Chain A
Amino acid sequence: GQQLNQSPQSMFIQEGEDVSMNCTSSSIFNTWLWYKQDPGEGPVLLIALYKAGELTSNGRLTAQFGITRKDSFLNISASIPSDVGIYFCAGPTDSNYQLIWGAGTKLIIKP
């Protein structure tokens, strides 16, 4: 079945550094969604991508929809302490309501 693979699994970075993470699949997706989950909270949608090659920004976050439609990238510039959390990619199944999720990339900022 469809699967999303996220890397890296976790990242230790210094405040102020730029961050890159990605999500890949063996299947084609027509939409890529990026979420952030803080401890004890549910995921919150950060960026949605709907078109191959699309590059979309939301503040310090930039996400790209890979041209093959089998991958997506999320970049965070000039990281700050509140960026700590788990970042998930997700994509829709053949239905218009169900999502498949990656296992997440955990972002940790070194003190």
Chain B
Amino acid sequence: GAGVSQTPSNKVTEKGKYVELRCDPISGHTALYWYRQSLGQGPEFLIYFQGTGAADDSGLPNDRFFAVRPEGSVSTLKIQRTERGDSAVYLCASSPSGFYNEQFFGPGTRLTVL
């Protein structure tokens, strides 16, 4: 079946602009995660959804970052007033239950802030 998909695959924006990154999880997966991966680093946890609600958003770096999952499927990560330091690969993962060893990752969106 289809895996996790993320769009766009690449996004180039200017400092100060607003961006939205989309994640389509595997059908039927109730849990969804967003991670940020900087060059030469492992993924860094941002937020975890169980269904429509954000069960844990402790990894969001500041209030410029926000994520939604209104119908419990597709999720959008929103970044306001982008800064050059936001440049990274943003990974999405979904899981049938949320347990940490059952995460299936998408290919990521590479965000570049000029």
Contacts and interface: CB of A to CB of B under 8 A. Distances in A.
Interface of A: 4, 31, 33, 40-45, 48, 88, 90, 92, 95-99, 101-104
B4 A42 contact: yes
B42 A104 contact: yes
Interface string B67-106: 0000000000000000000000001010100111101011
A104 B41 contact: yes
Interface in B31-56: 31, 33, 40-45, 48, 55-56
B91 to A, nearest CB: 5
A31 B45 CA distance: 18
A48 B42 contact: no
B108 interface: yes
Contacts of B4: 42
A90 B99 CA distance: 14
B45 A98 contact: yes
Contact of A41 (B40, B41, B56, B107): B107
Find the residue from A88, A90, A97, A102 having the highest chain B CB count within 10 A.
A97
